């Protein structure tokens, strides 16, 4: 079945640093999604990507849909304490989503 490999599993950074995380898939899909989950909350959509090579920004967040359509990365620039949380990549269309295992981000002030 479809698998998403997300790395790194966790990151510990200092406030102000840039962060990069990525996701690879065993299958080709048409949509890459990046979510953030805070403790006790459901995931919240950050960025959606629909085309190979697409680069999309949302404030300090930038994500790219890989040319091979099997990978994506998410960058966070100038991290702040509220960036703490778990970031998930996901694939899917209007039906079920398949999620990676997440990257847990810790930001030290």
Partner 1 sequence: GAGVSQTPSNKVTEKGKYVELRCDPISGHTALYWYRQSLGQGPEFLIYFQGTGAADDSGLPNDRFFAVRPEGSVSTLKIQRTERGDSAVYLCASGREHTDTQYFGPGTRLTVL
The CA-atom distances, in angstroms, between 40 and each of 7, 19, 50 are 23, 23, 29
Q: Is 14 in the site for partner 1 (CB under 8 A)?
A: no
Q: How many residues bind partner 1 (CB under 8 A)?
A: 24
Q: Is 85 in the site for partner 1 (CB under 8 A)?
A: no
Stretch that binds partner 1, among 13-21, 59-67, 73-81, 87-95 (CB under 8 A): 87-95
Strands 85-92, 71-76: pairing kind? unpaired
Q: Is 97 in the site for partner 1 (CB under 8 A)?
A: yes
Q: Is 28 in the site for partner 1 (CB under 8 A)?
A: no
């Amino acid at each position: 079945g479809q698998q998403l490999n997300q790395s790194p599993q966790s990151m510990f950074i200092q406030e102000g640093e840039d962060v990069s995380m990525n996701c690879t898939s065993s299958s080709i899909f048409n949509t890459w999604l990046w979510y953030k989950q805070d403790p006790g909350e459901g995931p919240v959509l950050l960025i959606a990507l629909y085309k190979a090579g697409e680069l999309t920004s949302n404030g300090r967040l930038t994500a790219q849909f890989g040319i091979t359509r099997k990978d994506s990365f998410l960058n966070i620039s100038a991290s702040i304490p509220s960036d703490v949380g778990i970031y998930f990549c996901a694939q899917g269309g209007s039906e079920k989503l398949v999620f990676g295992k997440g990257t847990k981000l810790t930001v030290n002030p």
